[in-house]
Structure 1
Amino acid sequence: LFIIIFHLCFFLLQANPSAGNDDLSRVLEGIRKNYSNCPCITITYSREVITRSMSMLGNEVKGDMAAGRMYFKSPYSLKMEQKTPETETIISDGDTIWWYIPAKRTAHRYSSLKFGKELRLLSDIFRGLTRVEDNFVVKLADDKIEGGFKIEMTPDPPWREVDHILLAVTRGYNIRVVEIFNRIGGKTKFTFDEKIKKEKFEEGFFKFHVPEGVKIVDEEGIQENKINKSLPLKEDVLP
């Protein structure tokens, strides 16, 4: 009897990781099939920023909330139009990131190579997590959700600002929630509408045209990007 139990336990210990890998592969394949036919999309989002102190107080405390619409064109063009609480726009063409704040008549310009990891992550998500295993350790999260799956992604090699990412995925393989956790215990949470609208964008839609009278602020990294444009950082080389 002991021998039978021993072999049974050995079999279960060997089988469980394989089953988990099969489940993860199935979920990733479902996501890729869902999003691979959507090279240009529009989706409504809400965003919540929760600090470490807020997270320690539990679910009764709400973080900094915002909502708007997001536009994506494969591979790395992304536009976020925040509608509430104040109008703001973030535009990235895969090279330069613009953050436009109309109320302050200011446009901040960043290098996507230095500050674009999170935006590129969203782009990768809308591409169906194509080749996600190249840059992340990916597994099904231990905490399950009703009616779906949770995927945990840990950057490999590590990112300075981001510890890990959690994705909430429906049984139909739609990504509903993206939670980006920083290294000090805070997180940024994006919740997406269930409906993804396919779009055709006009040429120049993802280019920022500076309005008259708006001040341009070049942030750290933008000059370096202009000089070393042909030499991207190793961890940020596009696939």
Structure 2
Amino acid sequence: MLLTDAEIRKGRFIKYAAEGHYAATSYDVGVGEIVDTDGARYSEGGYVLKPQGIVWLISSETLMLPEDVTGHAHIRTSLCSDGLLALNTGIVDPNWNGPLSTAIVNFSKQPYRIKIGEKFLRISFYKHERPTYAAPVSISRKNYIDDKIGKAQTVFGRTFLNFEQISKEVSEKVVEDSKEKFIYRASIAALAFAFLTILISVATYSVPLIYSQPQKLSDLTEEIKNLRQEINDMRRGP
């Protein structure tokens, strides 16, 4: 069952909630921390995300879900309209206690200024029967941010697609493949030429040998025919 704003408030699923972030059937978490790919943190003044750039956005709120409520997180439509895409959204499991985050990529052609407090993820809450088992997951804000800093430094590059590096690698691969294909085709052509040379030599020798003595071939054929006839007569007896 999808919960309404009143039910979300009553359930107290959100710690440090901002009143203006509630919608009819959801809550929009705001940016509390920004972590770039060098692991640097920005909690004041915001951050200018360049085209193809990647940063981690960490919520200022903490979600505290009971075992009979699941959250569904997705990026806000307004950010998508500005060319921003979240790389890791989805399910917030029952019994989760901690902040939320996502890696954001700027797919637009223009820099985008991310502001602290800006709404970035919309969370819908669904109440359901208690599962057979839902492991409690609780993480402090400090440990959560440290984990995201480690991922930012080790998992992603500075840009989503390093076009310059990709172009260089593709060009080198094309040249290398062309060299390999040229060597392969040249080898096949050399073998074919050698085989054709041998075939012509054999044909040049064999054809005159056969056709220069037609009479001898005819005589040999006649002798074989007579020999077969004699063998058949001997089998039939006197």
Greater share of residues in strand: 1
TM range (shorter): under 0.3
TM-score, normalisation: structure 2 = 0.21
TM-score, normalisation: structure 1 = 0.21
